[in-house]
């Protein structure tokens, strides 16, 4: 059960309604995470603005891979469920690739390197080794792209932390455990 107040759509603050309507139009429902965050329209705006800005860096499958790898490393069941759903239904990722992303890999060697690197960013709290940087560079990522990878990872961590604090009720198909493909 969620530990923070999750207002109904009718009770959401006026400053959040437009954003919530956008999610409803996109998904056919408003995910509980966004309903909860809507209780503070400024935080909702910050999260949505960051997500919108970061949607312009890297390709969608790489961003989804990072989100899945980070959410697995950080143990966020809600984010794993929503990123699995979005990666599959909107992102065109196969069940195998989603499963591999959660394990820090991918069917694509370049995305496998980014998944491993993103998990290292989380597990080392950003104190990645020279070898970690060399591996992601060796996969073809430039320093500006590495900055984008870290920022996408931090974006995922932000929602991981919000959902882990809240223990947000999962209102989308559960991602299952790492031992079983999504």
Question: Using CA of residue 138, residue 144, residue 148, residue 150, what is the dihedral sign?
Answer: positive
Instruction: Indicate if the pLDDT at residue 179 is higher than 90.
Output: no
Residue pLDDT, tens place only, 66-89: 999 999 999 999 999 999 999 998
Q: Can you give the residue ranges of every domain in the chain?
A: 13-54, 60-166
pTM of the full structure = 0.91
CA 163 to chain centre: 11
Contacts of 74 (CB under 8 A, 6+ apart): 122, 156, 157, 160, 161, 164
Residue pLDDT, tens place only, 14-36: 889 999 999 999 888 899 999 99
Percent of the chain topping pLDDT 70: 95
Residue pLDDT, tens place only, 139-176: 999 999 999 999 999 999 999 999 999 999 999 866 66
Q: Name which CATH class applies to 60-166.
A: mainly alpha
Q: Retrieve residue 52's tokens.
A: 């919108």
CA-nearest of 137, 144, 94, 86 to 116 is: 137
């Amino acid at each position: 059960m969620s530990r923070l107040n999750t207002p109904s759509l009718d009770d959401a603050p006026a400053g959040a309604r437009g954003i919530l309507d956008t999610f409803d139009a996109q998904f056919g429902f408003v995910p509980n995470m966004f309903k909860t965050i809507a209780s503070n329209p400024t935080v909702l705006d910050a999260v949505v603005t960051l997500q919108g800005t970061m949607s312009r860096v890297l390709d969608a499958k790489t961003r989804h891979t990072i989100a899945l790898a980070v959410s697995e490393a950080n143990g966020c069941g809600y984010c794993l469920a929503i990123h699995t759903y979005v990666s599959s239904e909107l992102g065109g990722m196969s069940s195998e690739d989603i499963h591999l992303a959660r394990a820090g890999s991918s069917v694509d060697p370049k995305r496998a390197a980014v998944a491993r690197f993103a998990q290292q960013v989380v597990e080392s709290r950003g104190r990645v080794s020279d070898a970690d940087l060399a591996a992601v560079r060796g996969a073809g990522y430039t320093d500006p792209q590495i900055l984008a990878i870290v920022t996408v990872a931090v974006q995922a961590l932000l929602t991981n932390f919000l959902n882990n604090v809240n223990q947000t009720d999962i209102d989308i198909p559960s991602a299952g455990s790492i031992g079983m493909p999504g």
